[in-house]
């Protein structure tokens, strides 16, 4: 058990190491370095030299990688090019804002997804299932920017219930942020809920078709007792991993949603730093987003491991 956990953590660390190599080599191989892409046409003579010196680009690549990696482990990602301030300070409030958004969406999304998933599975192919499933398929297939745009059009412009875009400074306090995040949270939660509800639905359907549930029905176990005692515990366990993957997948989608709502989170920072050709910030973002992805997956794996006695003795799933 302990061995499995350690092995899983090690694998995660190896993945992160490869991610750091990929981002570093990637920005190295692609034409132009941080200075020439940032300075664009002014990239010559003294200015370029100064930029090289400032970023330490005049030493060989492997030395730079090592010093970058050593600093990054300690949470120091160097200086951003555009703002001329430490990336750590740029990231701090952005991470907080994105975290508020994501946790609100998860907090609302998971209970709704569970209820919808179970309802659609238990009333499979009946009216509630067909109605809810149609809506969830719509919600999960259309792009984030479309659902977000439609939300703004209908709720903010036509009904005038809520502000359409977020106009707050990056380091705003939590309570000032709250009314502004309702629409973005709905936009994100909608897609996430739809995905998770589909997963829960198929998971419950699979368990309902299993032999021990058939047996319980034959034995005459009351329907709801059977559902709560036999079906749900077994159906929700595999859903944990899928929920984790869905959350991790949303990291990409959040970028677009944040841009639509002008929300000062990590996602918009991605766009801003790429538009400004600020490669040091991009590298830092890549490693941070990858760490979030890896740790969410790790957490989900460990949770399944803890909750499932059968897995304790088995080799962990690759």
> Would you tell me which residues interact with another protein (CB under 8 A)?
11, 14-16, 18-19, 21-23, 26-27, 30-32, 37, 137-138, 140-146, 149-150, 152-153, 157, 195, 198-199, 201-203, 206, 238, 241-242, 245-246, 248-249, 251-252, 255-256, 259-260, 270-271, 274-275, 277, 282, 285-286, 289-290, 293-294, 297, 318
CB of 279 to another protein, least distance (A): 9
CB of 224 to another protein, least distance (A): 25
- Comparing CB distances to another protein, the nearer of 32 and 93 is 32
Q: What is the DSSP letter of 277?
A: T
CB of 289 to another protein, least distance (A): 5
User: For the chain, what is the largest distance between any 2 Cα atoms, rounded to a whole number of angstroms?
Assistant: 85
What backbone phi and psi angles, to 5 degrees, belong to 221? -65, 135
CB of 128 to another protein, least distance (A): 17
- Comparing CB distances to another protein, the nearer of 12 and 221 is 12
- Comparing CB distances to another protein, the nearer of 52 and 249 is 249
CB of 304 to another protein, least distance (A): 14
For residue 245, give Cα distances in angstroms to 276, 293, 296, 312.
30, 8, 8, 22
- For 149-205, the DSSP string reads HHHIIIIIIIS--S-SS----TT--HHHHGGGGHHHHHHHHHHHHHHHHHHHHHHHH
- Comparing CB distances to another protein, the nearer of 151 and 173 is 151
Long-range CB contact pairs, 178-182, < 8 A, 24+: 180/263, 181/100, 181/101, 181/104, 181/263
């Amino acid at each position: 058990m302990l061995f499995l956990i350690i092995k899983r953590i090690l694998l995660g660390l190896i993945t992160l190491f490869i991610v750091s190599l990929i981002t570093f080599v990637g920005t190295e191989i692609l034409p132009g370095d941080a200075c020439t892409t940032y300075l664009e046409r002014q990239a010559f003579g003294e200015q370029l030299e100064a930029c090289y010196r400032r970023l330490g680009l005049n030493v060989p690549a492997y030395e730079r990688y090592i010093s970058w990696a050593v600093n990054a482990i300690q949470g120091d990602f160097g200086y951003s090019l555009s703002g001329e301030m430490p990336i750590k300070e740029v990231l701090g409030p952005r991470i907080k804002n994105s975290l508020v958004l994501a946790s609100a969406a998860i907090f609302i999304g998971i209970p709704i997804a569970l209820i919808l998933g179970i309802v659609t599975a238990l009333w499979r192919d009946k009216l509630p299932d067909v109605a809810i499933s149609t809506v969830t398929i719509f919600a999960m297939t259309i792009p984030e920017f479309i659902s977000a745009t439609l939300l703004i059009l209908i709720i903010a412009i036509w009904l005038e219930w809520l502000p359409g875009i977020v106009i707050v400074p990056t380091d705003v306090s939590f309570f000032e942020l709250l009314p502004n995040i309702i629409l973005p949270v709905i936009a994100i939660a909608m897609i996430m809920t739809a995905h998770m509800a589909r997963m829960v639905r198929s998971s419950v359907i699979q368990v309902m078709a299993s032999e021990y549930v058939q047996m319980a029905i034959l034995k005459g176990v009351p329907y709801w007792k059977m559902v709560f005692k036999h079906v749900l515990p077994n159906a929700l366990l595999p859903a944990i991993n899928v929920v984790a993957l869905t959350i991790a997948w949303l990291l990409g989608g959040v970028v677009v949603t944040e841009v639509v709502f002008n929300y000062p989170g990590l996602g918009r920072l991605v766009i801003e730093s790429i538009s400004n050709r600020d490669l040091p910030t991009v590298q830092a973002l890549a490693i941070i987003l990858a760490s979030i992805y890896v740790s969410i997956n790790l957490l989900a794996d460990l949770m399944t491991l803890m909750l499932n006695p059968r897995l304790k003795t088995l080799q962990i799933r690759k």
